[in-house]
Amino acid sequence: MTIEWRYTVEQDLGILSVSGYLGPDAVRRFEGAVGWAVGRGSGPVVVDLTELRAWSAEGQLAITEAARRLAAAGRSLELAAIPADGSLAPDGDCPPIPVHADLADALAAHSARHGEPPTGRHEWRTTGWANGDDAGE
């Protein structure tokens, strides 16, 4: 079992939406999605886990590694809607990872910090993502 992802950039905010199960078999695909995010956009990245069914210890480690990777690129990572089956406990050398109840809360927090809601939109996703047409991967 793996994940599907969609990455959306709205001006200076990236939203990486992930669905499925973030377990050992999905870590490489998640790392690829994070690489896609690193290469596109310049601001914070909100990882939206609304459609994620669950995550394993390896999946949680992949999240903390993504926070490190984004920090190395001068960007931050935030989480929205973490799975009910666990909490994220990054080790001491991980950058802070703000956690929001859901994507709407994450967007509201970003707007409160940076003013107007983002406008202008670009989107990429895996072909298995349930919404939209099959353009982009």
Distance of CA 91 to the CA centre of its chain: 19
pTM (global) more than 0.85: no
pLDDT of 136: 43
Please identify which residue in the block is written with the tokens 């009910």: 84
pLDDT of 111: 79
pLDDT at 133 over 80: no
pLDDT at 13 over 50: yes
One-letter identity of residue 44:
P
- List pLDDT tens digits, range 26-40: 999 999 999 999 998
Torsion angle of the four alpha carbons 58, 38, 99, 64, in this order, in degrees rounded to the nearest 10: 30
Q: List the Cα angle 109/2/110 in 5-degree steps.
A: 5
- List pLDDT tens digits, range 36-82: 999 988 899 999 999 999 999 999 999 999 999 999 999 999 999 99
Domains (ranges, CATH) in the chain?
3-125 (3.30.750.24)
Q: List the one residue out of 2, 1, 8 whose CA is nearest residue 131.
A: 8
Q: What are phi and psi of 61, to 5 degrees?
A: -65, -40
